[in-house]
Amino acid sequence: MTGKQKNFLFDLLNASSPSGYETEACKVFREELITNDVKNEFIDNIGNCAFSVGNDNGIPFMISGHIDEIALQVQYIDDKGFIRFIKDGGVDPKTVIGRKVVIHTAKNGDYVGVIGKAPIHIEFHTKEKDKVTEIKDLKIDVGADCLEDVLSMGINVGDSITFLNLVHFLGMNRVACGSIDDKVGVYITAEVLKRLQADEKDNHPLKMLKVYGVACTQEEIGGHGATLAAKRINPRYSIDYDVTFATDDGCVKKEEWGDIKLGKGGCIAFGPDKNSSMIDLMRNVCTNAGIPYQTFAVGAGMTNTLKIKLAADNCETMLLSIPERNMHTQVEVCDLRDLDSMVDMTYEFIKTLDNKLYNDSLY
């Protein structure tokens, strides 16, 4: 991964994108592709951003990642100026206490707040010592003395709240932050489109395929973005990117989720909503090109893959997953080498399929 690619990835990870409020991160995605002369296809009313490369009259092929992240939303402001909130996506209450958050207002910018708790000294001899506090019982302190103080800051019911997101390198190849799921999938989508676009400039265009790359919104609350994008594009083929559980840290059992390691390549998923012929071709592509990959089995409907399959008329689908530790926490960890392998395997797959379809058309 080059320095420019890392900067793009970090810009994506740092941009706020709660489900339903993905505008800031989508702007990063759009600007990167526009700068690299990739064709802008559409932004729809749910916020999906789509670009394309290839034969405009070709067979539609959709690659996608979801750009939304788990977050919170202002629900109530009490007379003392404390803010109560609800979940926006699958937030684990065990990971929330003691966190810094950012409240995004419509007119006055962003405000940092903290989610506090009673000191351990107070709770140590009580029944509360080992209890997980429910979201409804937590509150955010923004430094206000009363309700009027909060309102004067421009904070209102409905404002989105993200966790203060600091991206850090861990060692040479790994990064940690709270929005890896699934902005890394959006990063891969953009990098594949950029590589295909570079081929176009070098007079090696796709002959049979039109590849759409989509940053899908609202996956964390039901896959709404992918559903609408697939209805509009109606792809014949689809590769969706998401994250999966790394099992090399002992927190997730290999016996249940497979032997998945950071840094050993992107993961090809097997399951009822994943097309076996696409999987076979992808494994052959990786083997022939020397691209590292891993495999695992997962049920249907756990990602956007099934949403795309059902929304399109007749689509062969595949799920590629990035190994990740600590999913749905503020310290998610992934390995940059796995992202590189996912870009490589997707690019080689698309070029291989395009050539196969072209050769088949000659007979």
Which of 22, 219, 316, 324 is the catalytic position? 219
Closest CA to 217 of 50, 363, 80, 342: 50
Q: How far apart are CA 189 and CA 61, in angstroms?
A: 12
Cis peptide before 182 (omega within 30 of 0): yes
Read out DSSP for 135-170?
A: GGG--EE-S-SSHHHHHHTT--TT-EEEE----EEE
219 is catalytic: yes
Q: How far is CA 8 from CA 39, 96, 148, in A?
A: 18, 28, 40
Closest C-alpha to 51, from 208, 191, 199, 224: 191
CA gap 332, 167 in Å, rounded: 10
CA 210 to chain centre: 23
Radius of gyration of the chain (CA): 22
28: three-class secondary structure by DSSP: helix
Residue 28: alpha-carbon gap to chain centroid: 14
Listed residue (66, 317, 39) closest to 193, CA to CA: 39
User: What is the Cα 70 distance to its own chain's centre?
Assistant: 10
| Rounded Cα–Cα distance for residues 138 and 328 (Å) | 18
Amino acid identity at 283: R
Question: What are the φ/ψ torsions at residue 184 (nearest 5 degrees)?
Answer: -65, -35
- The C-alpha atoms of residue 88 and residue 73 are separated, in whole angstroms, by 6
Angle between helices 224-233 and 304-311 (to 10 degrees): 30
Which amino acid is it at 175?
V
Residues designated as active site = 219
